Amino acid sequence: MAADRPFDKTRGRHRPCSRARHPDQPADGRGPENLSGLGGSRPTSREKRAGQHTHISRLRSAETTSYITAQVEQDRLYSRLGLAEAFAALATKHPEVLELHRPTFGLAKSLVETGELPGPVFDACPGTKTEWAFDMTGRIYACTATVGKPGEALGTFYPEVKLDEAQVSEWQERDVLAISECRNCTVQLACGGGCASIAKNQTGRLHAPDCRPVKELLGLGLALYGTTSDAAPAIQRGNCLLR
Ligand code: SF4
């Protein structure tokens, strides 16, 4: 409140409160950098003079370190199924989160909400079809997942506009019919072959599968939506709208 802040006689108004803090911030005045375990000390008088600039630099440094750590320590990241399981557990406990986000859970959302299977997915990867990515050095990539990776640029937009048509074609031809492992897969039209970049990371080939846990996701989704949606009675009777 203004009454709590010192009055600046020269400006005729209360000074901004330099000690204003977020409710989650420790009462000792230290900032969120300490919450990441990467800060720890009060700003020096010199840092105080540098003001917000120093504070923002510290936050950016902490965030960057955190992202890099997560990239290196892959076990700190969710798997696709692990994330779905964690979300399902959260939504079971707090169904109100489904008002903000209703994952597809494979085929489950469509089955519960419409009684129909969703349309067939021949190709789950948008790279070079509905997605492209451009970096600040003038290179063109198939998607954001490949930006900056050596050998992944498909062309340039500066200083010269050009595309490697052979590489672009390889991306654009990738679907469940082009990937040999997917051709006889029973869930191919629910999966769509997954992410091309992940497939290439794991196998060295673009035309390789990135398998989605379709059956597990369907089970999770039916269990979740079967208890939280209007279709619950039908699903619980075993009439889960599958035709
Ligand atoms: S589950 Fe694997 S093999 Fe089946 S369609 Fe998806 S990527 Fe291809």
Q: Which two tokens stand for residue 201?
A: 């990371």
- Assess if residue 182 is contained within a domain: yes
Question: What residue ranges line ligand 1, CB within 6 angstroms?
Answer: 176, 179, 181-182, 185, 187-188, 191, 193-194, 209-212
Task: Give the model's pLDDT for residue 25.
Answer: 40
Q: Hey, whose CA ends up nearest to atom 3 of ligand 1?
A: 182
- Assess if residue 203 is contained within a domain: yes
Spell out the alpha helix ranges (H) of 123-207: 165-172, 188-191, 196-203
Q: Judge if 58 and 157 occupy the same domain.
A: no
Nearest CA to 143 among 156, 154, 158?
Answer: 154
Q: Tens digits of per-residue pLDDT, 91-150?
A: 999 999 999 999 999 899 999 999 999 999 999 999 999 999 999 999 999 999 999 999
Is the whole model's pTM more than 0.85, yes or no?
Answer: no
pLDDT above 70: percentage of residues in the chain: 63
Q: Judge if 168 and 178 occupy the same domain.
A: no
Contact by Cβ (8 Å): 138, 156: yes
Q: Which domain holds residue 30?
A: 21-74
Q: Judge if 89 and 189 occupy the same domain.
A: yes
- Assess if residue 189 is contained within a domain: yes
Q: Judge if 190 and 242 occupy the same domain.
A: yes
Question: In whole angstroms, what is the distance from residue 243 CA to residue 225 CA?
Answer: 18
The residue ranges of the chain whose pLDDT is under 70 are: 1-74, 228-243
Contact by Cβ (8 Å): 108, 218: yes
- Assess if residue 11 is contained within a domain: no
Question: In whole angstroms, what is the distance from residue 201 CA to residue 33 CA?
Answer: 33
